[in-house]
Structure 1
Amino acid sequence: MTQETIHLQDIFANRRTIYALTDQLPVSEQAVVDAVEHAILHTPSAFNSQTTRITVLFGEAHKRLWDIAETNLRQIVGDNDFSSTKQKMDSFRAGAGTILYFEDNDGIKALQEQFAIYADSFPIYAEHTNAMHQYAVWTQLSNLGIGASLQHYSAIFEQDVAQAFNIPSSWKLIAQMPFGGIAAQAGEKEFAATEARVMVVGQQ
């Protein structure tokens, strides 16, 4: 095993879900943008579809996103206890930015028309592609010393987000990744046994 391979495995292992964020990045904002652009260029996609779209929010735009989320969640929670949700929203807002992951429905529809035999599968392929972009960006951020987590609030505020940030109507919001400086490291991670999760057949 080469030193480069060991280093790559270390990078994978060091990526964690970080909720305790600050607005002080250990690198420039441009370094975050560079990581996103690298992922967009080099992450594979089914049929080379390239349907993933990403928006990076910094500063006040980032805070506005989580203000929108909180407003919508308060309407859903109503008179029930909102304290734990408020704490979570504040933890996201405390970061330096948020990365929004989308899939372009127009691109997916074009592929469905071009390759009709796979039409039902293209939305699934798109989800797979998007997940790979999420992991590629997340791992790069971790390697830059940036904390991040992956959130899925799309259903509660997708229309409001589209309006607030002039998102094209064909873009479907998939996930949100708040990021920033690391105020506190993640706790110990528990692993299920690999024997129950990996099957090996025909190994010599």
Structure 2
Amino acid sequence: MSNKTLDLLSKRRTQYALGKTLPIPTDAVEELIKAAIRHAPSSFNSQSSRAVILFGAESEKVWSLIEAELRKIVPEDAFAPTAAKMAGFAAGAGTVLFYEDQDTIRGLQEQFPLYADAFPGFANHSAGMAQLAVWTALAEEGIGASLQHYNPVADAALAEAFGVPSSWKLIAQMPFGSHAGEIGPKTFIEDDTRFITLGK
């Protein structure tokens, strides 16, 4: 089956081996990320997704701050694999910090009380779609990336370091850069385990 969207999605893969040489200028990468988030759907068109886009030394700072926080909770004699991961993420060209604006979510809860309990979940859906949109757009430009979740461990440190508004809640981190290694084949579980189709 030939489908352009599926072709794009198949390019989106987890790349841990990152380098600093991007195939397009950083200004273009910045605009790509902004456009992807701008076009990602959100419930009630809330547009609650936020992002901090970091390049170079600012991106490296993300991973040094996260590493410092992890050192407080991971035993030193078991820390070597974690340190290697942090170094790998820092080796990339940039990082996107994905946030959801809690003020926007609270506003929707007040405006639509019937759905109040559901809006945090809706925001997570929006966040996931924004992340996929960015990841797929980067992949189309030949930029490798992965999605990480070192929150809430370093939320406060990152917010302070980068001037993040207090209403923004950290959802995920996406280090990105040039492909510095091969990516293995993607495997899939059996369709019978995942899908039910009726009535065709």
Global fold match (TM > 0.5)? yes
TM-score class, shorter-chain normalisation, is over 0.9
1:10 to 3, 7, 12: 7
Code of the residue aligned with 1:59 in structure 2: it is: G
Give the gaps of 5 or more residues in structure 2: none
Q: Residue in 1 aligned with 2:110?
A: 113
Identity of aligned residues (%): 48
User: How many residues in Structure 1 have an aligned counterpart in Structure 2?
Assistant: 200
**Partners in 2 of 1:143 and 1:158 — Cα distance?**
30
Quick one: distance in 2 between partners of 1:36 and 1:26? 15
Separation (CA, whole Å) in 2 of partners of 1:196 and 1:77? 36
2:37 match: 40
- After superposition, give the CA deviation of every residue in 1:100-159 in whole Å (9 maximum; x if it has no partner): 100000000000000001000000000000000000000000000000000000111000
1:8: Cα distance to partner? 2.5
The CA deviation at 1:33 is 1.2
Give the Cα separation in 2 of the matches to 1:42 and 1:89.
Answer: 30
State the partner residue of 2:129.
Answer: 132
> Who is 1:65 aligned against?
62
1:186 aligns with 2:174: no
2:26 equivalent to 1:29: yes
Q: What TM-score, normalized by structure 2, do the two folds share?
A: 0.97
The one of 53, 58, 63 equivalent to 1:56 is 53
- Matched to 1:160, the amino acid is A
Amino acid at match of 1:148: A
Which amino acid counterpart does residue 16 of structure 2 have in structure 1? Y
The one-letter amino acid paired with 1:79 is: E
Moved more, 111-120 or 72-81: 72-81
Amino acid at match of 1:21: L
- Residue 36 of structure 1: CA displacement? 1.4
When the two structures are superposed, what TM-score results if normalisation uses the length of structure 1?
A: 0.95
1:199 aligns with 2:161: no
> 1:142 corresponds to which residue?
139
- The AA in structure 1 aligned to 2:134 is V
Question: How far does residue 7 in structure 1 lie from its aligned partner after superposition?
Answer: 2.9
Partners of 2:33 and 2:177 in 1: CA distance: 15
SS of the equivalent of 2:44 reads helix
Partner Cα separation in structure 2 for residue 86 and residue 108 of structure 1: 35
SS in 2 for 1:120: helix
- Equivalent residue for 1:122? 119
* Consecutive unaligned residues in structure 1, runs of 5 or more: none
| Structure 2 counterpart of 1:82 | 79
